[in-house]
């Protein structure tokens, strides 16, 4: 978008953001004669109002950590049949612990809600919704739920299978992933969501923090807490929950969401994995909102030049209108299957390049063997005396090959003898 146009939008948005609906329209009628510009500003205001609902109300639960205290939730404490080992994370509704199931002698991930939170009927409903959603799915790419129960102090818990590994969010802090790895991860996410969609479950909160990369290479989709299940739509006070920069345009605007909402969110993950950066970023929520609804991702990056099919896939997944987006995870999988051999070929080419570099490094190491350096020292001593070993030690550590080493050494020979000595040293056998 033209910078001056965006500045106009931003200026008008900031001017009317705190006005009533009638005042907003009246202000725009006076200060904006461009109907298309006016439409964009009003869309931004509408989306921002939804975000005001989404983010603070979603965080009402998480921010309770400032006042909610669980003094007994330390290692060794029992929650039902589960012995707490350590805290491993925080969710939108509470804390997650690694715990031991003392009955079956296995580890679980135990999501615990403090009583102050669990007494909220909406929250209890969300927890049970998550349990029901996951229990309907028997798929290797969806986390497994073992148990749901009440805590002695009035809180609630949900026990899920414990997986060793890291979240995609953590993996992305190290930078972009290799294209072949992106395809492997994206395919597993798509397979898991395909299984969910076939059972009328829409996740609606796909983001890096909800994707676990287990140590055995299996991807697990986590947190079905705001899933839409069998026509039941969970909202908190009318607010649709999610994470702003991974939400689809229709989700931001509070419109009806189908499975294309998950398609959009998966596309944001693919983009971020390929590039190592968020698809749309900005210091202000309004900047991100406007970008999601009106801007296109930056496809000028090198990875899209090298793998243009990724751009075509993302373009098909990121249409602003959900009805024009890829309408199933099956179609996403078809694209990824087409791209996979191309990405794998790129990985093989990189491996071959690495092997060539390693071979070259091996040759260098072979050239500068201890035996060769001893022979070199013996020959050089005749010209520079006992300083020869020290000179060789000094230059061998910084020389990539035999020729560079010899050129450095002959610099200590009198000019009239350098050519002869250089030739003698080059004739020394390895």
User: Residues, the chain, total?
Assistant: 430
Chain Cα centroid distance, residue 132: 27
Report which secondary-structure segment, H or E, holds 86: strand 82-91
Residues 6+ apart with CB under 8 A from 158: 110, 111, 127, 130, 131, 145, 147, 148
Q: What is the CA radius of gyration of the chain?
A: 31
Q: Is 147 a catalytic residue?
A: no
Active-site residue, from 205, 233, 370, 400: 205
| 238-254 exposure pattern, b = at least 16 Cβ within 10 A, e = fewer | ebbbbbbbbbbbbbbbb
Q: Are 254 and 154 in contact (CB under 8 A)?
A: no
Residues 6+ apart with CB under 8 A from 423: none
Rounded Cα distance, 143 and 140, in Å? 8
Tokens 């249409």 appear where?
319
Compute CA distances 408 → 261, 400, 412, whole Å: 65, 12, 8
Residue 326: closest CA among 175, 186, 422, 226: 186
What residues are labeled active site? 205
């Amino acid at each position: 978008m033209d910078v001056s146009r965006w500045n106009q939008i931003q200026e008008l948005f900031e001017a009317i953001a705190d006005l009533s609906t009638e005042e907003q329209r009246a202000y725009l009628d006076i200060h904006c004669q461009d109907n298309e510009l006016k439409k964009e500003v009003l869309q931004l205001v509408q989306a921002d109002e939804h975000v005001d609902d989404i983010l603070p109300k979603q965080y009402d639960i998480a921010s309770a950590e400032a006042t909610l205290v669980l003094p007994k939730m330390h290692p060794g404490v029992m929650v039902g049949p589960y012995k707490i080992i350590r805290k491993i994370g925080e969710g939108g509704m509470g804390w997650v612990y690694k715990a031991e199931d003392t009955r079956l002698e296995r580890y679980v991930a135990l999501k615990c809600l403090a009583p102050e939170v669990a007494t909220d009927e909406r929250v209890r409903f969300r927890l049970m919704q998550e349990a029901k959603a996951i229990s309907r799915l028997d798929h290797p790419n969806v986390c497994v739920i073992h148990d749901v129960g009440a805590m002695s102090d009035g809180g609630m818990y949900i026990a899920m299978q414990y997986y060793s590994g890291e979240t995609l969010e953590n993996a992305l802090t190290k930078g972009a992933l290799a294209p072949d790895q992106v395809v492997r991860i994206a395919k597993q996410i798509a397979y898991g969501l395909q299984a969910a969609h076939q059972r009328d479950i829409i996740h609606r909160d796909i983001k890096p923090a909800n994707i676990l990369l287990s140590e055995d290479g299996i991807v697990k989709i986590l947190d079905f807490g705001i899933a839409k299940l069998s026509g039941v739509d969970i909202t908190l006070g009318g607010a649709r929950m999610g994470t702003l920069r991974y939400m689809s345009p229709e989700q931001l605007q509070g419109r009806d969401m189908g499975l294309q909402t998950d398609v959009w969110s998966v596309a944001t993950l693919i983009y971020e994995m390929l590039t190592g950066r968020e698809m749309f970023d900005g210091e202000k929520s309004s900047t991100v909102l406007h970008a999601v609804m009106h801007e296109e991702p930056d496809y000028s990056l090198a990875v899209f030049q090298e793998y243009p099919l990724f751009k075509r896939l993302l373009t098909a997944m990121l249409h602003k209108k959900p009805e024009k987006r890829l309408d199933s995870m099956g179609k996403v999988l078809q694209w990824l299957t087409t791209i996979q051999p191309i990405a794998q070929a790129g990985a093989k080419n990189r491996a071959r390049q690495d092997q060539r570099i390693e071979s070259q490094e091996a040759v260098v190491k072979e050239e500068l063997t201890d035996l060769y350096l001893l022979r070199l020292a013996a020959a050089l001593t005749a010209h520079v005396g006992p300083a020869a070993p020290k000179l060789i030690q000094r230059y061998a550590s910084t020389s990539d090959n035999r020729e560079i080493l010899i050129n450095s050494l002959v610099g200590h020979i009198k000019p009239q003898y350098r050519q002869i000595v250089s030739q003698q040293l080059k004739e020394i056998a390895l």
